[in-house]
Amino acid sequence: MIAFILGRLWQSLILLVLVSIIGYCVLNLAPGGPLSQYSLMPGMTKEALDRIAEQMGLNRPLYVQYVDWAWKLVQGDWGKSFRDGRPVLSVISSVLPATLLLMVGSTIISVLIGTVIGVYSAVRSGSVFDYVATVLAMVALSVPTFWFGLISIYVFSVKLGWLPAGNMMTPGDGSVWDVTVHLIMPSIVLALVNVAIWSRYMRSSTLEVLGQDFIRTARAKGVRPRRILVKHVMGNALLPMIALAGMQLPALIGGALVTETVFTWPGMGRLFLDSLGYNDYPVVMGILMFSAILVLLGSLLADIISAMIDPRIQLN
Amino acid sequence: MSTTTTFSNNNSGSWRQSRVLRQFLRNKLAVIGMLMLLILLAACFIGPHLIAYDELHIDLRARFAPPLTGGHIFGTDPLGRDLAARLFHAGQISLFVGFCAMIISTVIGTTIGVVAGYYGRWVGAVLMRITDAFLSFPSVFLLLALAAFIKPSPVMITLIIAVTSWMELARIIEAEIKSLRDREFIQAARMLGLRGRWIMFRELLPNAMGPVIVAATLTIARAILLEAYISFLGYGIQPPLPSLGNMLNGAQQYLTSAPWLAIVPGIAITMAVTGFNFIGDGLRDALDTRKG
Amino acid sequence: MTKTTGFELTRRRALQMMGLAGAAAFASTTLGHSVARAAGTDQEGRVIIAFTGEPTVFNPHKPHIEADEAVHAALYDTLVEIDEKGEYHPVLAETVPTIENGGISADGLNWTIKLRDGVKWHDGKPFTAEDVKFNIELLVNPDFASWRKTGHELVRDLKVVSPTELTFRLERPYAPYAAILASTPIIPKHAYDGITNLNEAPFDQSPIGTGPFKWKNRIAGDHVELEANTEYFGDGPHLKGAIFKYIPDFSVFYTQFKTGDYDLVGIQYLMPDVYEEARTLADKKVELVGNGYVESISLNMKKPQFQDPKVREALYLAVDKGGIIDALYYGTMRPTESFMPQESFYYNPDLPKHEFNIAKANEILDAAGWAKGGDGVRAKDGVRLAFTNSTTAGNNLREQTQQFLQQTFKEIGVEMTISNLPPAVMWGDYWLKSEFDSVIVGLNVMTGADPECSDYYKSTSSPATGGVGQNTWVYANPKVDELLVKGAELNDAAERLAIYREIQSEIRKDLPFLPLFQYQAVRGYKNGLEGIRYNINSRSDTWNIREWRWAKG
């Protein structure tokens, strides 16, 4: 097991290097370059731009810049934001709680709703409910997240006035209740896709468990169906679900970006878009790397859990 | 097809195809998906001829007309253009972008998957690690980072969507090819001295076409969604060319006064994507030999 | 549509005092409203100001956006300030230096600045002439990525005479320098003690000023919070705190204003389409306020399509300005013929008025030999009258304007293609090095409140032709060049007036850009907030935040 984990860690490390090269190339292929932020300043001259380029080390060959950047990255120096001069890591970590809150909120919702729908579909397999759930899950996977957000705002904020249309808190308030109210709509919107995936997954794993011998035995013994469900089905399905969560991480982070935009949620996705708009290359790069690391950790976790569940995987 | 193909669809081809087709048609959702797409295609390609308005014609006096007023079935936009006419053209463009992105990403994904699966060892390892590396970025992030620094045109948008959506297919194909690589008919082909390229694309690939077709269908759905995402965020296809995504860009601003600007294109996107997803799902069931 | 109020007329008259000589008349005026020592006890409530851009740069000398300047104005003071009537007042300076009071020598070259005594930084250290010297030196220091060198780079022989007095000499007479000083906040020298890399000082994150409010904290992506500086040297502040809130989306921005989540609308302001509704809101005061930006279709004069003046004239005739302003901007903008704000003393009101006349445009092009080809597009000597138009992608109102223009241009046989770009691409080399055909852009070419605009219209200011500046039209008119040099050196407001009016009429004649309108913003605040004075001469919404207070009771 330890050898397996070490092996996977090693692979992840190699991946990270590849990821950083891809990310670095993407950003540095841009025509404007990091300098365009300065070019609109009053009285900016070509000479001054050249000097700034030199100060920033942008006049060196690309691979030298990359190695320099990557070496600093390893040492924990992710560069400084062009906008406010703060270290990139602290810029990211300052918006991270908002994104995590949104992701956790949406995960709780999708796990709760997804489990209920999934288990019920499996138990009533072939029923109208099951069928409708299947269809709705497919539709949910097809609805653009931002559009679902817009429609929710239209219904619940514009028409009904029940929920705030955006932001994380009322200015000057920020109490737990206040944040919760603001959290409801975005987290539901973000949860939509995951409810679909989750419920499908719960359905198939419940069906699998229900078909196993020990369940039939338990039933024959007269154990009540609900207890069987809760104890065996849930117990057996839980670990795979964590693995699934690991696999779903890129989609969740991507979805968070779009959701944050629609609901002006002050998280990492919002920061990413703002930074793109202001040509804040170090932050854009930082977020790309950071999300890639999260994703890699997620899939590492997923793999380890899968290996724990299914010993055969270790052999591969 | 080579004579050494003992395992594939040569003599049993027509039988298998009809079985797949029957399987597919038995899947209600797949049929519904087909119907939805047919309706959309009809609307996009026949619709413009039935509408009295040009999708680019601006009439400021008619701006913000609600649906079903003044001969505008879906109403008008902030420049007084007919929303239906724009929607149908947007549909054409979005479907076109989706289709082209699918073709390109399928070519990339299949090539990488087949080469990696056939050669295995370090070639396969390198290719698959690159695939994994691309997969490590949430695709919207990668897409936006690319889109923010290029000159947006339908061609470029299609390309960057394709560049960010070939990875899953490559993974599937690689696994499939790996499992086929050591079968007898391939070993026989090798012994006959056939070149690697021939074996890969003439022997192995046809046997892995099922997953390719399924993935291609789902990729269209995904490409339409991705186009909508980046155009909504203002980095996609630029006006006056309408796309399903850029029709929604700015709709948020008018959500209170003109909600149809958000509702109409959104439903169209959902229909198109759902249609392709239903079909893809149906195809998966129909092509799944383990089931049959 | 736009109503001119008496307020504006008096403002214009008063703006006659905007030049240096003009300021002399107020030399004896001390900072009337802030001269009284504050007891520091009457702060009550706090104000929440919302912006659609996020304030992120708190060192005012670093490159920043306008939303940042709102925070700067609360944290820092300038030596002098210009009020909404164009009058200069001393802030950190004891008096406004003028020729009359001996602060400036008769030739405009030698300056003496006397500073207010007893002013303290937020950290308790005394403010002295050394601080002022440090600021000017920092701004022109080649190792510092400076927001603005213009004007400061002319300063020579900067000497600290005493802790409250410094003198310097300008290399050549430069009238706008007073206006530049009025928009140069002063930061503490001691914040840079021991700093080797000037671009990365801890001060950038935890600013220290002399202003009416002190730094409290910042939640990145959400808000900045300041608290009252009870030791403030002037009158005020009358609020316990100020919150600068970032709301990136215009519809949320307006919704939260309606619901009273914040008190005052900050920069980028409300969208024109909500103006009619917003002005009827019961507990809010909403009005249109002019600002110094002028929207135009900027043409690249290097391109063969635009070299014939007849083409530019015809294009201007084919712009349905009324349609754009009334429909797309809901009548909130003011049509203009000049690049200069109409509030400015130097504004030329006698420029020829634009008319929308397709027939005339067609006539002009026919007469000039631009004949329609088979595709309906005119051409002459192998040059097709076809070009691209660009602006920042995602700017909805501009995108609508473009599409509207496209239609009327088509009617005169001109093919305009829209090619919008992400901001990163748009405002880089594409704009600066004049790689575009035409661009829709809003520009404020003034130097603060001063009409000096050589950076934009001098033929030597085009980066595309090896120049330095922002003349991206590659506009070259020897007469304008000459006038610009003269205008910057003269000190007498009346003499300058004639020069700048002539510059405007030359540029109106040449049409390197087709002026669309001068911006007016839909601004507003909650009833009960007192002391708000909109000031076109300042880029900060909060220029007088020390005076703001909530109505009692």
Q: pLDDT tens-digit profile of C307-350?
A: 999 999 999 999 999 999 999 999 999 999 999 999 899 999 99
For residue C252 the two structure tokens come to 């949320």
Q: Residue A33's pLDDT is what? A: 63
Q: Residue A314's pLDDT is what? A: 45
Q: pLDDT averaged over chain B?
A: 84
Q: Residue A274's pLDDT is what? A: 85
| DSSP 8-state assignment for residue A164 | -
Which of A38, A39, A101, A182 is the best mutation test for C, with the most CBs of C within 10 A? A39
| Domains (range + CATH), chain A | 89-267 (1.10.3720.10)
Q: Residue B16's pLDDT is what? A: 61
Instruction: Please give the ipTM for the structure prediction.
Output: 0.82
Q: Residue A172's pLDDT is what? A: 65
**B223 with B165: CB under 8 angstroms?**
yes
C196-200 LR contacts (CB < 8 Å, sep 24+):
C198/C138, C198/C141, C198/C143, C198/C144, C199/A55, C199/A85, C199/C62, C199/C143, C199/C144, C199/C145, C200/A80, C200/A85
Question: What subunits touch chain A, counting only 3 or more CB pairs under 8 A?
Answer: B, C
Q: What's the CA gap between C296 and A40, in Å, rounded?
A: 17
| Domains (range + CATH), chain B | 28-48+69-286 (1.10.3720.10)
Q: What's the CA gap between C334 and B54, in Å, rounded?
A: 32
Q: Which residue of C has its CA nearest to A38?
A: C63
Q: Residue C36's pLDDT is what? A: 41
Q: Which of C111, C89, C87 is nearest to C99 (CA)?
A: C111
Q: Residue C458's pLDDT is what? A: 94
Q: Residue B13's pLDDT is what? A: 53
Can you tell me the mean pLDDT for A173-179? Answer: 81
**pLDDT at residue B290 above 70?**
no
For residue C127 the two structure tokens come to 């403010």
Beta strands C415-418 and C386-390 are: parallel
Instruction: State residue C529 phi and psi, 5-degree precision.
Output: -85, 120
Q: Which residue of C has its CA nearest to B233?
A: C394
- pLDDT of A34-87, one tens digit each? 666 666 555 566 666 777 777 777 778 888 888 888 888 888 888 888 777 788
CB contact under 8 A, A258 and B229: yes
Q: What's the CA gap between C473 and C439, in Å, rounded?
A: 10
What is the distance, to the nearest Å, from the Cα of residue B210 to the centroid of all Cα atoms in its chain?
16
Start-to-end Cα distance in chain C:
37
Residues of chain C numbered 409-468 and touching chain A (CB < 8 Å):
422-425, 427-432, 447, 455, 463, 468
Q: What's the CA gap between C110 and A194, in Å, rounded?
A: 71
Q: Which residue of B has its CA nearest to C326?
A: B60
Interface check A130 vs C, CB under 8 A: no
Q: Which residue of A has its CA nearest to B133?
A: A19
Can you tell me the mean pLDDT for A110-139? Answer: 87
From C271's Cα to the closest Cα of chain B, the distance in A is: 9
**pLDDT at residue A200 above 50?**
yes
Interface check B179 vs A, CB under 8 A: no
Q: Residue C18's pLDDT is what? A: 33
**Residues A284-313 as b or e (16 or more Cβ within 10 Å = b):** bbbbbbbbbbbbbebbbbbbbbbbeeeeee
| Domains (range + CATH), chain C | 77-192 (3.90.76.10), 291-520 (3.10.105.10)
CB pairs < 8 Å spanning B and C: 68
Q: Residue A311's pLDDT is what? A: 54
Instruction: State residue C292 phi and psi, 5-degree precision.
Output: -80, 5
Q: Which residue of B has its CA nearest to C398?
A: B239
Q: Residue C2's pLDDT is what? A: 31
- pLDDT of A7-29, one tens digit each? 888 888 888 888 888 888 877 76
CB contact under 8 A, B136 and A296: yes
Can you tell me the mean pLDDT for A234-252? Answer: 76
Q: Please, which residues have CB within 8 angstroms of residue B28's CB and are 6 or more apart in sequence? A: none
Q: Residue A38's pLDDT is what? A: 65
Residues of chain C with pLDDT under 70: 1-41, 553
Question: Of C58, C148, C252, which has the smallest distance from its Cβ to A165's Cβ?
Answer: C252
Question: Of C150, C249, C256, which has the smallest distance from its Cβ to A42's Cβ?
Answer: C150
Instruction: State percent of chain A over pLDDT 70.
Output: 86
* Type of residue found at A297: L
Instruction: State percent of chain B over pLDDT 90.
Output: 27
Of A215-224, A230-239, C294-303, the range with the lowest mean pLDDT is A230-239
**C148 with C136: CB under 8 angstroms?**
no
Q: Residue A310's pLDDT is what? A: 62
Q: pLDDT averaged over chain A?
A: 81
Residues of chain A numbered 56-95 and touching chain C (CB < 8 Å):
80-81, 83-86, 91, 94-95
- The pLDDT confidence band at residue A30, using thresholds 50, 70 and 90, is low
- pLDDT of C51-96, one tens digit each? 988 898 899 998 888 889 999 999 999 999 999 888 899 999 999 9
CB contact under 8 A, C262 and A38: no
Q: What is the pTM of this model?
A: 0.82
Q: Residue A177's pLDDT is what? A: 87
Q: Residue C281's pLDDT is what? A: 92
Interface check C150 vs A, CB under 8 A: yes
Residues of chain C numbered 240-259 and touching chain B (CB < 8 Å):
249-251
**A244 with A305: CB under 8 angstroms?**
no
CB contact under 8 A, A32 and B149: yes
Q: Is C139 left (phi over 0), alpha (psi -120 to 50) or beta?
A: alpha
Q: Residue A34's pLDDT is what? A: 66
Q: Residue C164's pLDDT is what? A: 94
**Higher pLDDT, residue C155 or B236:** C155
**pLDDT at residue B280 above 50?**
yes
Interface check B255 vs A, CB under 8 A: yes
CB contact under 8 A, A171 and C261: yes
From C396's Cα to the closest Cα of chain B, the distance in A is: 6
Q: Which of C524, C527, C550 is nearest to C45 (CA)?
A: C550
From C424's Cα to the closest Cα of chain B, the distance in A is: 6
Q: Collapsing DSSP states into helix, strand and coil, what is residue C443?
A: strand
Residues of chain C numbered 176-205 and touching chain A (CB < 8 Å):
199-200, 204-205
For residue C461 the two structure tokens come to 């200011």
Interface check B240 vs C, CB under 8 A: yes
| DSSP 8-state assignment for residue C73 | H
From B145's Cα to the closest Cα of chain A, the distance in A is: 7
Question: What subunits touch chain C, counting only 3 or more CB pairs under 8 A?
Answer: A, B
From A48's Cα to the closest Cα of chain B, the distance in A is: 23
